[in-house]
Amino acid sequence: SARWQVLAYDRQHYGTAAQELSITVTPAPDGEPPFQAEFLVGNRNVEELLPAAARESFLVATAGVWDQDDLLIVNITSALDRGGRVPLPIEGRREGVLVKVGSQGAFSPCLAAATSPQSRFRCSLGQQPLASCYDTFAPRFSIRWCNLTLVQVRPSPVTPGPTWGSGVLEDGGDFQPPTEVAPQDLIPGFLVTLLVPLAVALGLCLLLGHLMCCRREGV
């Protein structure tokens, strides 16, 4: 749980308002969905997809092209946060929204065909990508299929923790002390550490005394 300050502005009058919200994030019971698809909705702003009714409508449309019944929205991001351009001040223009949808099931053939190399090649030529199903998003949501991204999330390996015992030595086991280490002669190291700095200091003192006493004018 954390407290966040949300700063909003009016698009028409450019007024601002701030509000503090307390947000509690709980992990999903089944973990992060392994299959995630990110759609770019060109005819919507981010605040238009935040209400629950709009998100539910988008999931219903997604189920038409992704034959899964456990779809959920993982993230909603404005296209401006991903390098999108600010739309011209013309009626009907929108910023665009990136909606990431996840599922436990694999991608449908329709989504796989839309991101195939053949579809990417058609997109590079300015043509529509390959689609093997009916676009259930239209006309409410204008999906830019050339910007569709499919990601398969790999579960991170879990490192097993240490196994804790009872703390009591089992019967029949004798304690084996560690092997004794042979004593080391530390005198040479001590002499080197002490005599070398003293020799350097004595040499510097002799050099400094020679320069100050024997190099004076008239001597």
Q: Can you tell me the distance from the alpha carbon of 150 to that of 37, in angstroms, rounded to the nearest whole number?
A: 5
Higher pLDDT, 194 or 213: 194
Q: Can you tell me the distance from the alpha carbon of 59 to that of 69, in angstroms, rounded to the nearest whole number?
A: 10
Domain ranges of the chain: 28-152
Cβ-based neighbours of 21, under 8 Å, separated by 6 or more: 3, 4, 5, 6
- Work out the average pLDDT over 175-196: 82
* Residue 121's pLDDT band (cuts 50, 70, 90): very high
Indicate if the pLDDT at residue 30 is higher than 70.
Answer: no
Partner residues linked to 25 by β-bridges = none
Q: Which H or E element spans position 99?
A: strand 97-103
Indicate if the pLDDT at residue 219 is higher than 60.
Answer: no
- Work out the average pLDDT over 179-197: 85
pTM of the model: 0.61
Q: Can you tell me the distance from the alpha carbon of 219 to that of 205, in angstroms, rounded to the nearest whole number?
A: 19
pLDDT digits (tens, 9 = 90+) for 56-66: 999 999 999 99
Query: Which CATH number, 3.40.50, 3.30.70, 1.10.20, 3.80.10, labels domain 28-152?
Result: 3.30.70
As a whole number, the mean pLDDT across the chain is: 83
